[in-house]
Amino acid sequence: MLSKALAAGSDLVITYEAADLDQVNLPIESFDIVYSSLTIHYLEDPRRLFGQVYNTLTSRGRFIFSVEHPIFTAPTDPSWKKNADGQVFWPLNAYSQEGPRTTDWLAKGVRKYHRTLETYISLLLDAGFTLTSLKEWMPSDEDLRDHPEWAEERHRPAFLLVAAQKVTNAE
């Protein structure tokens, strides 16, 4: 992903870095934006990372991230089911039981960590952020015109998109 980003080039000043998010040490007040796409649900405890991100942001800096939606990560058997009438549904269970889930996705035995929507927001607020936007992504009507195969995805949100801002007491 880094090589693709670098190859795409940009007129903007962008810093890319590969690091272990459980151990990363970010420079203090150095970035205006931190963006993470579909990685945080792989961390056992993102509390440290959220604190690092808060500290690395400049005043009014933004943290934008996406994760698999908690409804998506919760089930112990994350696969579509059909009821007796042949209707497709998503089996939601174990939502309140946070912790590891092992699924077969692109490879066998992929470990992800389920946490509730409340936990994600609480971690942000505890780190000092102000929540500015929350989106539970599902395909729009326009998306379905372009990708009719996504119709099942309307039964439950696949992704949670979150935007937060660093606001200090002095502001």
- List average pLDDT for each run of 10 residues in the chain, which is 171 residues long: 80 78 92 94 96 96 97 90 91 95 86 96 97 96 95 91 89 62
Q: What is the CATH number of the domain that holds 119?
A: 3.40.50.150
In a domain, 150, yes or no: yes
pTM for the whole structure: 0.88
C-alpha distances in angstroms, 102 versus 27, 68, 91, 113, 121? Answer: 33, 14, 16, 9, 24
Q: Are 78 and 155 in contact (CB under 8 A)?
A: no
Number of domain units in the chain: 1
Which residue is associated with the tokens 């549904």? 89
**Burial letters 37-63, b for 16+ CB under 10 A, else e:** eeebbebeebeebbebbbbbbeeebbb
In a domain, 50, yes or no: yes
Q: Are 38 and 66 in contact (CB under 8 A)?
A: yes
In a domain, 171, yes or no: no
Q: Range of 107's domain?
A: 2-166
